[in-house]
Structure formats: structure tokens, C-alpha cells
């Protein structure tokens, strides 16, 4: 199975600070069809996960544009340009290129 | 408004069975492959099973193969997860989600304990 390694496991930030989360894959996530099925989710405390970014860099409808995704192959990054209080929670990367789908271990974003 | 509403979670003894349901509304359910994802207490997310739009193809994580069955009724816009021979390590919140993770249910807690 593909292993997704997220760093850091915990991230402390102040409101307005820009932060980045890394997701590294044990295999290239480039599919033979040319797509890279790497997505980012946010799980706020006590809530279900929600999709933020899909296919590496595409912003899900309704998600603020302070969120952005980048990367290719095995290295991916989620950036938040100006953290807001509502952004606190656990961020997960997830891949769907290789069966079975796998999730990263999560990065907890908390207030400093 | 898109809604996925799970039901069926409860406390069950090891070795027993349980069936989860997920009622979908607000989108064309029959057009979406669907999945179950679980989260053990204080742990991360773990994929459990996926089903194709027609229900003709199903996929499972190794630890549940032969014990869990995912199915769907497109006429009722409902997804199911039949769980047999439950183990303590199956204790988790189970989420119904589209296979591309754009819609999620609120989750249902399943506790396997004697």
C-alpha cells in the first residue's frame, strides 16, 4: 500500500500567519491517465472531514482561496495564506491513484 | 443541499453482526462511486470499502475482507455496510462518503465490546 507521510504532525500558528503542510508519498501518485489523485481534507474538532483541495491544486467549491495546493510525483504541499480561527483542526492528505486509497497520518493545526 | 445520513451504529459484542445504512439526498446518488471510511477513537482516517456506481464492483481493505459487505440501492439512494464477525479493532466512527471524498456523512459510532 502507498504510505503518505505528513509533516509536521502538529503545527502551532497565530492568526494571520501563513503555514505549510507537507505530504510525501512512498510512490509516485501520477496516474497513467495523466491525473494525480492527491487531495486534502480538513477535519474540524467534532466534525466530519471536508474536502479542501482535489487533484493536487484544485480548490473545492466554497473553500476560501487562502488555501492552495501544489506538488507533483511524490511531494505535495498544502499552504494556508493567513490562518483564520476556523482553520483549526486536523488536515489529512489522501491518495486515490493506487488501490487501496490511503490517508496521511494527519497534521493538527492549533493556535499558538 | 447534499446530505449523507448514516444510521445503525450501536454497541455490539465481538463476533456479532451489524448493518450500517447511509441515506443520500441532494445529488444524483447513482452517478457516484461510494465508500466507507472509519476513524478509531483518537486516530486518523482509514478507508474500509468502495463500491462502483452500479454496485457491480466492490473493494475492501484486507482486514475486513470476508467479514464486511458494501452494497447500495440506487432506487432508494442508500448505501449499506454489512459487518459480520466483528472484532474489537473494528471499533470506530464510520463515515459514508463519495469515493472522491467531496461529500461526507456525520458519522456513526460502532463499539465492539463484551
What is the CA B97 to chain-centroid distance, rounded?
8
Chain B residues within an 8 Å CB radius of A53: none
> Cell 470506530 appears where?
B92
Would you place residue A67 in the very low, low, confident or very high pLDDT band (cuts 50, 70, 90)? very high
Average of per-residue pLDDT across A62-77: 98
Q: For residue B94, give how far its alpha carbon lies from the nearest alpha carbon of chain A (Å).
A: 10
Give the per-residue pLDDT at B9.
84
Percent over 70 (pLDDT), chain A? 100
C-alpha cell at B7: 444510521
Q: Which residues contact A40 (CB under 8 A, 6 or more apart)?
A: A23, A51, A52, A53, A54, A67, A69, A78, A91, A92, A93, A94
Average of per-residue pLDDT across A15-44: 98
What is the CA B6 to chain-centroid distance, rounded?
8
Helices and strands (DSSP H and E) totals, chain A: 0, 11
Q: For residue A63, give how far its alpha carbon lies from the nearest alpha carbon of chain B (Å).
A: 12
Query: What string of DSSP letters covers B69-114?
Result: EEEEETTTTEEEEEE-S--GGG-EEEEEEETTSS-B---EEEEE--
Chain B residue nearest residue A91, CA to CA? B44
> Cell 454496485 appears where?
B55
Q: Are the Cβ atoms of A103 and B50 closer than 8 angstroms?
A: no
Taking 3-state DSSP, the helix, strand and coil percentages for chain B, each rounded to the nearest 5, stand at 10, 50, 45
C-alpha cell at A105: 497520518
Chain B residues within an 8 Å CB radius of A102: 47
Convert the pLDDT of each residue in B32-87 to its tens digit: 999 999 999 999 999 999 999 999 999 999 999 999 999 999 999 999 999 999 99
What residues of A are in the B interface, CB distance below 8 Å?
39, 41, 43, 48-51, 54, 60, 90, 92, 94, 96, 99-106
Q: For residue A75, give how far its alpha carbon lies from the nearest alpha carbon of chain B (Å).
A: 20
Say yes or no to pLDDT of B22 above 90.
yes
CA distances from A61 to A50, A53, A58, B48 (A): 11, 9, 9, 26
Q: Are the Cβ atoms of B95 and A60 closer than 8 angstroms?
A: no
Percent over 90 (pLDDT), chain B? 95
What residues of B are in the A interface, CB distance below 8 Å?
35, 37, 44-47, 50, 59, 61, 95, 97, 99-102, 104-107
Amino acid at each position: 500500500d502507498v504510505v503518505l507521510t505528513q509533516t509536521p504532525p502538529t503545527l502551532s500558528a497565530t492568526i494571520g500567519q501563513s503555514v505549510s503542510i507537507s505530504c510525501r508519498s512512498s510512490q509516485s501518485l501520477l496516474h497513467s491517465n495523466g491525473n494525480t489523485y492527491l487531495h486534502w481534507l480538513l477535519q474540524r474538532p467534532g466534525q466530519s472531514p471536508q474536502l479542501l483541495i482535489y487533484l493536487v491544486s484544485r480548490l473545492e467549491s466554497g473553500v476560501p482561496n487562502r488555501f492552495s495546493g501544489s506538488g507533483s510525483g511524490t511531494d505535495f504541499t498544502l499552504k494556508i495564506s493567513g490562518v483564520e480561527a476556523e482553520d483549526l483542526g486536523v488536515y489529512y492528505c489522501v491518495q486515490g491513484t493506487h488501490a487501496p486509497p490511503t490517508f496521511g497520518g494527519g497534521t493538527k493545526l492549533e493556535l499558538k | 443541499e447534499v446530505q449523507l445520513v448514516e444510521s445503525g451504529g450501536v454497541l455490539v459484542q465481538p463476533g456479532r453482526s451489524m448493518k450500517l445504512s447511509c441515506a443520500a439526498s441532494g445529488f444524483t446518488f447513482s452517478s457516484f462511486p461510494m465508500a466507507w471510511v472509519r476513524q478509531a477513537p483518537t486516530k486518523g482516517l482509514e478507508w474500509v470499502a468502495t463500491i462502483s456506481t452500479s454496485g457491480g464492483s466492490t473493494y475492501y481493505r484486507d482486514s475486513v475482507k470476508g467479514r464486511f459487505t458494501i452494497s447500495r440501492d440506487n432506487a432508494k439512494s442508500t448505501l449499506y455496510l454489512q459487518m459480520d464477525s466483528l472484532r474489537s479493532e473494528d471499533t470506530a466512527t464510520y463515515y459514508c462518503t463519495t469515493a472522491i471524498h467531496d461529500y461526507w456523512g456525520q458519522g456513526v459510532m460502532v463499539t465492539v465490546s463484551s
